[in-house]
Chains A and B, each alone.
Chain A
């Protein structure tokens, strides 16, 4: 019986960052922070944006109660809340009362109107968990950060996101060849699209070749300056662009 034998414990290696091991807690926080949350924000050449046509102007009516009801219906009650400990379960029972729902809708509308995102919603807690099935864990890249934000803010974000998804697909800014991050465009849809393309090519007696590549450190390396230009190109009005400006500034997180 192999499994009753003595099993050696795994050797624990400290996390290496830039060639140095992190032996104290502040060192560790520094290593984690610089690998997950430091955008370089280099100055970039955005001249090629002129090649993309300006999309149609998007109208932004006030939020309705129904949008928030729809957004919260998809949230899992068991997911962990943020620093203020208000869980989705609490929020779901609150929202059944029309008066409280009205307040949340008002907060959302005022946020857009004043182009401001409250600092309470910007606080988050980052929990770092190891990615599964790796041989050793000596680099911050082998860990997955999970960011816990305050749920009320997340609910408003969800309502905004649902609206953006619809409108950006409707005015054709998001290309039909782009999958992921959008409703109705999942991995399976991408797979079906790819196999269809291949089978269609075979019918034309061609053989198909595919070159797959990915982008290093995708999320942390997105550039803010470029994003705000994209928002303008997408046809969002200046109100929303400035709202996102406030949304992205002065965020802070703590690690645990």
Chain B
């Protein structure tokens, strides 16, 4: 253990007040950004979403070139505000993603070199806050990823128990409900709603449930 040393950060990790204080810190930045966007002589359709240190700029437009220039413009505005508030944007972590309904859409990239970034081309799947977004919002990749994760957890759980016997069904059920279901159902609110095409996603979840039921009851 080291000798105590002085901490001079304004918001330390571990304190219960950090989340609310960081939200407080960002509130004026977001407000200023919205105001500056409104004050531009041409109204541009930009939305902002902020999650602690992750920020999103969302643009909606019919043509790609227009939407890219709007994004570039607002990116420029927000990075200036951040510099004033002593925060630095990590330009090499900036990502671009287009949501388009068409099956094989064009995927134009954006050039951020004028504001200190680089040319960014969108990836086929975009990972954000633990969700895997695809460009048509069907979340097939998302459920596939989490279903695979659950199935491997399930096979690992079969090894549990001591040398003379395994777990009781009631303990197995507890394990399933606490360790597997939350992972499998992470973000289901995004794709499970009335009228949504969900058959593919549901089949994957059913497979997990079936395997788990067999393991819990000991049937075969």
Contacts and interface: CB of A to CB of B under 8 A. Distances in A.
A222 interface: yes
A218 B87 contact: yes
A178 B50 contact: yes
Contact of A208 (B17, B60, B82): B60
Interface residues of B, number: 86
Contacts of B68: 209
B168 interface: no
Nearest to B186: A188
Contacts of B26: 178
Chain B CB within 10 Å, residue with most, of A37, A178, A179, A211: A211
B159 interface: no
Contacts of B81: 48
Contacts of A198: 58, 99, 137
Q: How large, as a class, is the contact surface on chain A?
A: 35 or more
A179 B54 CA distance: 10
A210 interface: yes
Contacts of A132: none
A52 B24 CA distance: 13
B98 interface: yes
A69 interface: no
B10 A227 contact: yes
- Consensus secondary structure, chain A interface: mixed
B128 A212 contact: yes
A207 B90 CA distance: 26
B98 A207 contact: yes
Contact of A221 (B48, B59, B88): B88
29 contacts: A37-B7, A39-B10, A52-B32, A147-B12, A148-B14, A149-B14, A178-B26, A180-B23, A181-B18, A182-B19, A191-B189, A194-B49, A194-B56, A197-B47, A208-B59, A209-B71, A210-B56, A210-B98, A210-B99, A211-B75, A213-B91, A214-B54, A214-B89, A219-B11, A222-B21, A227-B11, A250-B6, A251-B8, A252-B4
Interface of B: 1-28, 30-32, 34-36, 45, 47-62, 64, 67-68, 71, 75, 81-82, 84-91, 93-101, 105, 110, 126, 128-131, 137, 187, 189-190
